[in-house]
C-alpha cells in the first residue's frame, strides 16, 4: 500500500518536472523566434513577393512535419 503511494508520488513529481521543463523550453524557443524575426524583418520586405511565398511555404512544411 505504501509502495503504491510512493510510486504515485514519484510519478506525479516526474510529470511536474517534465511540464516545467517543457514550459521553459517553449519560452526559450519563443525568445529565439522573436530575436530571429527582429533580425530578418528589415530584409524581408526587400525580397520579391514570390520569394517570400516560397520561403513561407518551405518553413511551414519544415515546421509542421
Find all residues with CB under 8 Å of 44, minimum gap 6, and list them.
52
Residue pLDDT, tens place only, 31-49: 777 777 777 778 888 889 8
- What does the block give as the cell for 4? 503504491
- What does the block give as the cell for 7? 510510486
Find all residues with CB under 8 Å of 55, minimum gap 6, and list them.
47
Eight-class DSSP state of 29: H
Residue 54 confidence (pLDDT): 92
If one compares 33 and 52, the residue with the highest pLDDT of the two is 52
Residue 25 has pLDDT above 80, yes or no: no
Residue 22 has pLDDT above 70, yes or no: no
Q: What percent of the chain is modeled with pLDDT above 70?
A: 77
What's the whole-model pTM score?
0.38
Average pLDDT score over residue span 14-30: 66
Cα separation, 41 vs 23, in Å, equals 27
52 neighbors 60 (Cβ within 8 angstroms): no
Amino acid at each position: 500500500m505504501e509502495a503504491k503511494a510512493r510510486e504515485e508520488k514519484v510519478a506525479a513529481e516526474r510529470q511536474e518536472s517534465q511540464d516545467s521543463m517543457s514550459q521553459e523550453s517553449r519560452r526559450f524557443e519563443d525568445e529565439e523566434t522573436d530575436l530571429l524575426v527582429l533580425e530578418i524583418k528589415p530584409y524581408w520586405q526587400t525580397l520579391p513577393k514570390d520569394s517570400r511565398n516560397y520561403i513561407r511555404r518551405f518553413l511551414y512544411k519544415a515546421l509542421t512535419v
